[in-house]
Amino acid sequence: MSGAAFLDVPYAFDARGRSAVTGDDDHLRDMIMQVLFTIPGERVNRPEFGCGIGQLVFAPAQDALAAAAEQLIHGALLRWLEPLISVETVTVAIVDAAFEITVVYARRDTGERQQDVFRQQVAAS
């Protein structure tokens, strides 16, 4: 990436009333979050985009669900963000009826290693 400013996700206004912007690291995190939580078919012009984790939130919370979610997420991140990041690991734990998704990756432009954690509620088993 280039050190440029990107529109922040979710869209918001800054203190001056302009569109809020963010830097490279937060922009990558925002893109990962979009891949994780966009349901395939949700975007009209790119219906395949997303990973379908939202479809798993109604399954019983158990170890097999976490393993399936890890594979689903890893594949989606490779498909949509491969030019920008190198995904090292994806770990999914179910904590207090929520997916706790940890993504460890390296930025391709700098080689800098990052770790981000995302949470999504799941149905109780």
In a domain, 75, yes or no: yes
Range name among 62-66, 88-92, 109-113 with the lowest pLDDT average: 62-66
Query: Looking at per-residue confidence, does 61 or 67 come out higher?
Result: 67
Confidence grade of residue 107 (pLDDT, cut at 50, 70, 90): very high
Q: Give the 3-state secondary structure percentages of the chain, helix then strand then coil, rounded to 5.
A: 30, 30, 40
Entry pTM: 0.83
Cis bond upstream, residue 10 (ω within 30): yes
In a domain, 17, yes or no: no
The whole-number pLDDT of residue 114 equals 96
For residue 100, the SS3 value is strand
Rounded distance between C-alpha atoms, residue 74 and residue 53, angstroms: 11
In a domain, 65, yes or no: yes
For residue 45, the SS3 value is coil
Q: What percent of the chain has pLDDT over 70?
A: 87
CATH of the domain at 67: 3.10.450.40
Q: How many domains does the chain have?
A: 1
Instruction: Determine the structural domain holding residue 36 and report its residue range.
Output: 26-121
In a domain, 104, yes or no: yes
